[in-house]
Chains A and B, each alone.
Chain A
Amino acid sequence: MAHGPRRSAACGILLDRGTNPCPLHRQADSQPLRHQGSPCFTIFLNIFTVGLRPVVSTEAPPIIFATPTKLSSNSTAYDYAGKNKVPELQKFFQKSDGVPIHLKRGLPDQMLYRTTMALTVGGTIYCLIALYMASQPRNK
């Protein structure tokens, strides 16, 4: 559902309703894969990707991921460093386990949160001490 160019000055800044009617961000309208090769672009991609798997089938996968299981085991699609993991991530993050979003991934989230909090709070205490010392008048 593309929003094309508009005449008004607010040209596409504020959407009118209807571009994404579904509250869940489905991959229903994600891009189909194209297979026209471009050597220049391939070289660029290699910088970022581990490796490109060659095309075996020229068939584009279905746009609407009604059956995600069909895609997850499909190794014949033209891959840019891996398949689309969004559907499985959607399922993972939508588990109702009561865990807040910033800790939902478990251990790595917890470690990063604790590190950030420790550095920030510790730094604030150090800062207050440093400011207190700096505010003491220096004797000649």
Chain B
Amino acid sequence: MTHQTHSYHMVNPSPWPLTGALSAFLMTSGLIMWFHFNSMILLTLSFLTNTLTMYQWWRDIIRESTFQGHHTPTVQKGLRYGMVLFILSEVLFFTGFFWAFYHSSLAPTPELGGSWPPTGIHPLNPLELPLLNTSVLLASGVSITWAHHSLMEGDRKHVLQALLITIMLGLYFTLLQVSEYYEAPFTISDGIYGSTFFVTTGFHGLHVIIGSTFLIICFMRQMMFHFTSGHHFGFEAAAWYWHFVDVVWLFLYVSIYWWGS
């Protein structure tokens, strides 16, 4: 019987990187087919295969860690570096959109009426729904911290309670944003204002949905006794991601909703 003499995890050969890469290919080609040939078959197929890949890949990671015990402190350290770098890449992603916003809003062109907001645009009142959204996300940051402390203290019931509150607040935010999108007096095609507003808030909303999904997975895992008080990196990663989403919103609120109005 051979045993490894190091603390790293040598994974079993897995088909998911291949299916993931192929689903990405289908997604990009699917977008082309949708844009230019009005066909959504490839795009739908790509979402399906992407979801299947993600489900099975992360299911396998849970099997390798919680059930097989392969996540030594060394492995966990690598995962921490990985999550930090991923979130950093997302920060840079949003930086691009904020750059575009400030590029256009700091020196508004004559075509816009030389002002920001551009002539004819009636921006949303930052003290109405956007302020409520801010308080919702800030509160969710508090509740997820409560969940984490409860987890570290071994208080199972309160972990579930606090996580549930966090998820509910995230869903509430999403619903509020959807209604805001519906009621907004301007659209994405209303010049550079509309473009920067909807692309930046739209991507943020997508990240809220992703973060909420991650939290729901954590809730289910906590129900199934996966986390221990000393080892719960999946939960920590979800919490970091959620705080990141919250911080992006704060930048959004201050820049686009408040200063930009």
Contact = CB atoms under 8 A, between A and B. Distances in A.
Nearest to A12: B236
B225 interface: yes
A123 B45 contact: yes
Contacts of B30: 127
B25 to A, nearest CB: 6
Contact of A86 (B36, B152, B226, B240): B226
Interface in B1-60: 7, 11-16, 18-19, 22-23, 25-26, 29-30, 32-33, 36-37, 41-42, 45-46, 48-49, 52-53, 56, 60
B229 A80 contact: no
Given A34-B155, A123-B26, A81 B223 contact: yes
A134 interface: yes
Secondary structure at the B interface, as helix, strand, loop or mixed, is helix
Contact of A90 (B23, B67, B73): B67
20 contacts: A1-B230, A13-B240, A14-B81, A20-B73, A24-B69, A25-B68, A27-B228, A28-B228, A36-B157, A63-B154, A81-B223, A84-B224, A86-B225, A89-B67, A90-B67, A116-B15, A116-B49, A116-B53, A120-B26, A126-B45
Interface of B: 7, 11-16, 18-19, 22-23, 25-26, 29-30, 32-33, 36-37, 41-42, 45-46, 48-49, 52-53, 56, 60, 63-73, 76-77, 80-81, 84, 151-157, 159-161, 164, 223-231, 236, 240
- 5 closest A-B pairs by beta carbon, nearest first, are A24-B69, A31-B154, A1-B230, A93-B67, A100-B12
